[in-house]
Structure 1
């Protein structure tokens, strides 16, 4: 198996995998998506977001000091080289057993080393009859991290939003699927570019797509 410099074969144990996390009762997450602050870094006010970083110590989830989110333009041509600051996740959300189960599902599936740093983005993409929602305004991209987890919480009155994986930006996707609520897609960020297609309402009312995106490392800096 080819390995990436600085990574062990264990850390490089998968390319991508899709799993259903049956232990998570999604209803417990839904109230926490109704008060997300609007992402001020993109035009249109259709994306709302919170972000915190954690580590796992034994069987406990430990929140780390907050920081700013940073990617270079090599990975994010739209928002790269900008220190982005987002509100932290709600403390009541972090205390939920289902939230801990989600983070543990990510760390266990990726076989992260002890005390690895994990970023958790809580994101809502909205759309209306007048405006589509664009989950990935930067286009087909990689994040500049090691592992990514995309967990679908809820899809309300939307069409589209397929998650796609590519081995090269100008090739056809090797994976394309609408992630159903409760499904967790795990991706080796060194091997694939990813993208999520725009969403539009199924009937002429507002629609929303709620997801958690987990990364390790977190890409947060002090």
Structure 2
């Protein structure tokens, strides 16, 4: 068995996992990426974003009141200690069976407590021939949560956008993977740093990378 960083791939499987979520209709999500508001906290207008938080009760999602995203500078040197506010996810998106299945897949895979709070970030990163898009402008980082899920919804006309996991910032990545539509990467945030490389178009027109990022705890405050 291949060894990475002194640990076997099997041992690493307890710390991160890549899975294909086959029960989702990815096309259900597409209309909801076309009306995302621009992320006002990032220069360049290349990132669009919404954010809501939930708990799972049985097989149902309970949406929690609006909150503010907050991370310390220890985790986010670019926007740490800033109370950030984003528009809520579209109600029609939340009602989709595919959306519920995605959140349940994250909760079940991470074996979350039934009352654990889950933050769901809906993010589109764009690029053009004149400007690259940067999915992780804060660089190699941790989020300051317990578990992270990165779910790929769409990649259109882009190169790059490769997700890396590291055991330390100055080490080589133990995982380098382009996440293709339908793939969900689950990460223990205590054990890994993560980063996604910039994107650029394959041909001279706009390119997009659409993802959901799920975290538990949600990192949202009232």
| Structure 1 residue 79: Cα displacement | 0.2
Aligned residues: 210
| TM-score w.r.t. length of structure 1 | 0.94
* Cα distance in 2, alignment partners of residues 73 and 28 from structure 1: 36
Once superposed, what is the RMSD of the aligned Cα atoms? 0.7
1:65 aligns with 2:65: yes
1:42 aligns with 2:31: no
Deviations along 1:18-40, one digit per CA (max 9) or x if unpaired, are 00000001000000000000000
| TM-score w.r.t. length of structure 2 | 0.94
- Write out aligned runs for 1:105-184 (5 A): 105-184=105-184
- Write out aligned runs for 1:17-96 (5 A): 17-96=17-96
| Structure 1 residue 115: Cα displacement | 1.1
Structure 1 unmatched runs, 5+: 1-12
Deviations along 1:118-156, one digit per CA (max 9) or x if unpaired, are 000000000000000000000000000000000000001
* Cα distance in 2, alignment partners of residues 14 and 112 from structure 1: 15
Corresponding residue for residue 9 of structure 2: none
Q: Secondary structure at the match of 2:131?
A: coil
| Structure 1 residue 51: Cα displacement | 0.0
Corresponding residue for residue 193 of structure 1: 193
List 4+ stretches of structure 1 deviating above 2 A: none
Q: Secondary structure at the match of 2:104?
A: helix
| Structure 1 residue 14: Cα displacement | 2.7
* Cα distance in 1, alignment partners of residues 32 and 14 from structure 2: 31
Corresponding residue for residue 5 of structure 2: none
Structure 2 unmatched runs, 5+: 1-12
